[in-house]
Structure 1
Amino acid sequence: RRPVESALITPVLVVSLVTGVAMAFKPVANVLLGPGSAAAISQALKPPAYPAVPVAKNLDWQKIVQEAGDRFPQAQFRSIALPRKGGGLITVRLRQPAEWLPNGRTMVWFAADTGQLVGARDATQARAQAQAFNMIFPVHTGKMAGALHQLIMALSGLVLCVLGLFSCWTFWFAGGVRGKVKRTVPQGVGSKSV
């Protein structure tokens, strides 16, 4: 009934749907991003190989932070993670100005037993499919282009809610009861003769 409003909100709903499905189901993201995307994403997320070792008690944390900052001087620190089960790397995660992902995907890894630099990965130099994969979350959540983007994505969520309410209202009240067809049974059908 309101074609202008529908035409304006439909692309936003499509973007919200596609990015949401791509985040929830990695195979969908691989299909969307094209051939070779699964390998590119896996390579961009995989840490370097290092044996499982316990975290040393006397690590120089200041040196670790300083070395990560020197490696990517324009980046903001986002997190430092201790080794996961079966791993031996301390992960420093940073966000560079060119990255859309709020926490960034630029990583620096240090050995948990010695504190030595093991590897670093610049997310802005990753393959195109991996960079596109990193953009899915900020596009979906409205973290890409400031307040206007957040408002538009919030509006898409509100529209979905209103559409759901209207559907329920139409089914239960507006069309459901009145739309039922009354069935009449012809005389003689279903009656038993004794």
Structure 2
Amino acid sequence: MIQKVHLWIGIIIGLFFSLSGLSGSILVFDDELDVYFNANLWRVEPQSDVMRLDEATHKVQSYFTGHAVLLARLPREPDHSIEYWIKKNEVLEQVYVDPWTLEILGRRDEHAGFLGFLHDLHVHLLADDYGLFVNGILGLILLLTVLTGLWLAWPGWRKLVNALRVPRKSTRFASWFALHRSAGLISMLLLFVVALTGAAMVFYKPTNAALVAVFGGPGLSEPPLIEHIEPHDIQKLPSALLRTAESEIPGANATWLRFPVKPEMPFVVRLKYPDDSHPNGTSYVALNSFSGDVMMAHDAKSSGTGQQIADMKYPLHIGTAAGLSGRMLIFVTGFIPTILFVTGIYTWWFRRNQTLNKTATSFRSVSLDSDPSVAENECNVITEHNRKNQS
């Protein structure tokens, strides 16, 4: 039964696992590749120590009047532009602005280009929120595939070394089967972590709640809304709010800004400690955009154990939890599902053909000169045996 579950999961959705792994391998270095291939959007010439954030934001808001400016990704390097996220007619558009000259360097849809396509495929299966949900379910199925593979392939600790070897001088079937087994055993833990963290990110709300409940809080809560707004109130400049946020969590640097799309919504700053393995950081400060008061502050170093575990989902998924070596390890792991899919399909196809050939030989061996009732009975037995093997 376990063998059939493992087999048919691999046959039916093994191609999905393969595409997900290959796209994930490339996306491990998404930022570096994007900057390299789209230097016209990212590269700028620094002209001072202080970027003109307020003027750049005002220019984007004025240029896209009538459209919501949602986010701003602040430069990760001194020679990087500011990336603004604009919502235009239910489509997210990215706009790149030189923070010193205020030149709009370019704009593109969220999933434009090859890397954008890969990101949409890897996360949403090219089907928006529906694809995201299906992706989470498929991640859970991948967990089942890994566990059934472990059950079938585990040789015991004493025989483990031999099970990891791929014989050089052997039949093609034996070599491919050994490759399937050894690749699965070697990568099993990493595949389990990638599948688990991927599914956990899709279903992040119940996952985070469960982790905080089991391992303890405090967890990350939603920032409150602004209760009282006077008609004459004016929103403060982004740079002033950013400075307040960074002073609230000393030692952490701002990475993202979330602008309020409604007056009662807070201005949210995301921050990152230098030793935080999450590329975007896991600290947040929500501010009243009119008064500048801090409404909520979430310091990653003061989080409960449950929230700290929850914050590790993405770093584990992309390998940054172990630095560059971890990213390289995840990059290589992304190719394993393709190896398992190809070798698994081949061994299944080979065994199926062997069964069919044996059946055909058995039919031919039935003597036409023998008692017809005996011949008919032998044919029935062979047919029933073949049916069970194929079911």
Instruction: Give the TM-score normalised by structure 2.
Output: 0.41
My pick for the range that moved more, 87-96 or 98-107, is 98-107
C-alpha distance 60-83 of structure 1, shift in aligned 2 (>3 A): closer
C-alpha distance 30-119 of structure 1, shift in aligned 2 (>3 A): closer
CA contact (8 A) 2:235 2:290 kept: no
My pick for the range that moved more, 16-25 or 123-132, is 16-25
- How many residue pairs end up in the alignment? 185
Post-superposition CA distance 1:11-49 (Å, at most 9, x none):
222222322232233445666x47445x847x4142134
3-state SS of paired residue (2:311) = helix
- 1:24 pairs with 2:202: yes
3-state SS of paired residue (1:99) = coil
Any residues of structure 2 matched to 1:33-182 within 5 Å, and which?
Answer: 33=211, 35-36=213-214, 40=217, 43-51=219-227, 58-83=235-260, 87-172=264-349, 174-180=350-356, 181-182=359-360
My pick for the range that moved more, 4-13 or 104-113, is 4-13
3-state SS of paired residue (2:354) = coil
Q: Distance in 2 between matches of 1:71 and 1:179?
A: 70
**Tell me, which stretches of 5 or more residues in structure 1 are unaligned?**
190-194
Q: Alpha-carbon deviation of 1:82?
A: 1.3
Q: Distance in 2 between matches of 1:138 and 1:105?
A: 11
Sequence identity of aligned pairs in percent?
22
For 2:164, the equivalent position in structure 1 comes to: 3
C-alpha distance 34-44 of structure 1, shift in aligned 2 (>3 A): closer
C-alpha distance 34-114 of structure 1, shift in aligned 2 (>3 A): closer
3-state SS of paired residue (2:352) = coil
Q: Alpha-carbon deviation of 1:108?
A: 1.1
CA contact (8 A) 1:99 1:124 kept: no
3-state SS of paired residue (1:155) = helix
**Tell me, which stretches of 5 or more residues in structure 2 are unaligned?**
1-161, 166-181, 377-391
- 1:15 pairs with 2:193: yes
CA contact (8 A) 1:88 1:113 kept: no
Instruction: Give the TM-score normalised by structure 1.
Output: 0.76
Give 2:222's aligned amino acid: K
Q: Distance in 2 between matches of 1:61 and 1:177?
A: 68
CA contact (8 A) 1:21 1:28 kept: no
